[in-house]
Amino acid sequence: MQVLRQWRLFQRYSRYGNYVALDSDCLFCKIINGDIPAQIVFRNENVVAFNDISPQAPTHVLIVPTLHVENAAGLAKMSPTLTADLFVAAGEIAATNGLTGYRTVFNTGAEAGQSVFHAHLHLLGGRGLAWPPG
Ligand code: AMP
Ligand code: ZN
pLDDT higher than 90, residue 5? no
pLDDT higher than 50, residue 17? no
Among 82, 34, 19, smallest CA distance to 121 is for 82
The pTM score is 0.90
Give the whole-angstrom CA distance, residue 89 versus residue 128: 22
How far away, in angstroms, is 92 Cα from ligand 2 center? 23
Model confidence pLDDT, tens digit, residues 47-76: 999 999 999 999 999 999 999 999 999 999
Phi/psi for 46 (5° steps) reads -105, -20
Question: What is the per-residue pLDDT for 46?
Answer: 95
How far away, in angstroms, is 28 Cα from ligand 1 center? 9
Whether the CB-CB separation of 123 and 60 falls below 8 Å is answered with yes
Beta bridge partners of 121: 63
Q: Where are the domains of the chain?
A: 2-125
Mean pLDDT over each residue of the chain, to the nearest integer: 91
Give the whole-angstrom CA distance, residue 60 versus residue 123: 5
Question: What is the per-residue pLDDT for 9?
Answer: 63
**For ligand 1, atom 16, which residue shows the shortest CA distance?**
53
**For ligand 1, atom 17, which residue shows the shortest CA distance?**
53
21 band by pLDDT with thresholds 50, 70 and 90: confident
Q: What is the largest CA-CA distance in the chain?
A: 45
Taking the CA of 112 as reference, the closest ligand is: 1
Give the whole-angstrom CA distance, residue 79 versus residue 16: 10
- The hierarchical CATH code for the domain 2-125 is 3.30.428.10
pLDDT higher than 90, residue 126? yes
Mean pLDDT, range 31-45, rounded to an integer: 97
**Pocket residues for ligand 1 (CB within 6 Å)?**
27, 36, 38, 50, 52-54, 62, 107, 113-116
To the nearest 10°, report the CA torsion of 22, 17, 79, 113.
Answer: 70
Active site (annotated) includes residue 120? yes
How far away, in angstroms, is 120 Cα from ligand 1 center? 9
| Catalytic residue, candidates 60, 68, 118, 120 | 120
Taking the CA of 24 as reference, the closest ligand is: 2
Whether the CB-CB separation of 71 and 117 falls below 8 Å is answered with yes
Model confidence pLDDT, tens digit, residues 107-119: 999 999 999 999 9
